[in-house]
Structure 1
Amino acid sequence: MDVAKAECRRRILSVVDETAQINLAAAAGANRLTAEQRAAYVAGLDWIMQMRAAWPSLAASGADLSDDASWPAVPAAAADLAGDF
């Protein structure tokens, strides 16, 4: 279980590191995102929630955690936005 949880965290942080998460949350909270950016931000939050929901069943099933196909796909707009922050 710990391996799957750690892999989930690693995958999330590879897309949106902690600094980007803080900066995005601050920009969203201050209403500084455009409508397009806000949509991408929400898609990214949804993806993070999907990732967190996925790891327990992946661990229980014995799925190959290194296989990208085992995990929810990152929305391209969310990854692009994270790269800007």
Structure 2
Amino acid sequence: MDEITKRKEAIKLFTQGISITRICQTLKQSRVWFYKWKSRYQSNPEGEWFVEQSRKPHNSKKNLILRSSPKLLQSGTN
């Protein structure tokens, strides 16, 4: 069973009234894993809540510094 199928199955079982303990035992996943996907499902039940989201930062410190004050870097090289 792939990860997306496990996520969907966990929520399906939960909505059928199966206990979280039983769901986690059946799918061999942790409670933390379950609550993560339950939270995503509850925030967007009609969307693609089951898809992994990127963990890549939206901004890096280097790019933030370059965009905010490029003259700062130039003044240090003179």
After TM superposition, the score normalised by the length of structure 1 is: 0.30
Q: Rg larger in 1 or in 2?
A: 2
Which one has the bigger helix percentage? Answer: 1
After TM superposition, the score normalised by the length of structure 2 is: 0.32
Q: Which has the higher contact order (CA 8 A, sep 6+)?
A: 1
